[in-house]
Structure 1
Amino acid sequence: MPKFATAINCIDGRTQVPVIEFLKQNYNVDFVDLITFPGVDGVLTSNRNDVIELIKRNVEISIKAHASNLVVISGHYDCAGNPVDENTHIKQILNAVEKIKQWGFDVEVKGLWIDENWKVKELKAGQ
């Protein structure tokens, strides 16, 4: 049976392949379900509850339909949908990780930062 992960990612096409490759290499997954929205790290730390509920519903579909046991939230350099500095992105990503954990799914939740070279770095709490 194939192993899935779920990536909540920006719509920016430059970020899709690096995130998928990172998850395949570091978490031994076969496929990555992508849930995309412009500047999604900022959205998940906002009061846009309609969008947040839609993202949550999509995560639930990925978990139930594909038995995904890993959810990642990412942000990236040069984001048009969330044009803030790197430190703000990282804080938003880490806050989004905590918010996603509160959704009550029995999955691992991680935060990822994609830098100016399109390299993916896993974030740690307190970073």
Structure 2
Amino acid sequence: MKSSDTVMKDSQFGTAINCIDGRVQSPVLNWLKERYSVSYVDTITAPGVNRILSETNIDKIEQLKSNVMVSINAHGSDIVAIAGHHGCAGNPVTKDEHLNHIRKASEIIKSWNLPVKVVGLWINENWEVELVS
């Protein structure tokens, strides 16, 4: 096995489960890097992903979980953030509904009993990150 084939395993990584909307990528990545002192953030995206994780579609949830497991197992991620945002086309609901989705999605991720901290994030109309849970 060449050194380039080895899997990087340390706590320099975090994981963001985020919407595909390009406006929210940088705020979430920067917030995680600053708040948790990680160098890299693995991103798992889908339109309106906070809604997807708060619902009961087991197949979609299992796919997201599988992606999170790659980040944890291959990169040693020890923080997982689930984000929702203002003006989401994939989940066009009120802020209160988004916050409920984020809280429920956080609880679902916590129920996986992974060795990580789980945080819920809201990205407001000014593209600023607010901690939800």
TM-score, normalised to structure 2, is: 0.90
Q: Is the 8 A contact 1:101 1:109 kept in 2?
A: yes
Q: Which residue of 2 aligns with 1:14?
A: 23
Q: Which of residues 28, 50, 62 is equivalent to 2:59?
A: 50
**Runs of 5+ unmatched residues, structure 1:** none
**Cα RMSD over matched residues?**
1.0
Q: Which of residues 32, 40, 43 is equivalent to 1:34?
A: 43
Q: CA deviation at 1:20?
A: 0.4
Q: CA deviation at 1:19?
A: 0.3
1:78 aligns to what SS in structure 2? coil
Question: Which structure 2 residues correspond to residues 1-127 of structure 1 after superposition, within 5 A?
Answer: 3-124=12-133
The one-letter code matched in structure 2 to 1:96 is A
2:119 aligns to what SS in structure 1? strand
1:31-90 deviation line (CA, Å, top 9, x unaligned):
000000000010011122111111000000000000000000000000000000000100
TM-score, normalised to structure 1, is: 0.95
- Large movers: runs of 4+ above 3 Å: none
Larger Rg: 2
Q: CA deviation at 1:123?
A: 1.1
1:19 aligns to what SS in structure 2? helix
The one-letter code matched in structure 1 to 2:95 is E
Q: Is the 8 A contact 1:2 1:31 kept in 2?
A: no
1:118 aligns to what SS in structure 2? coil
Number of residue pairs matched by the alignment: 124
The one-letter code matched in structure 1 to 2:76 is A
The one-letter code matched in structure 1 to 2:29 is I
Q: Is the 8 A contact 1:71 1:110 kept in 2?
A: yes
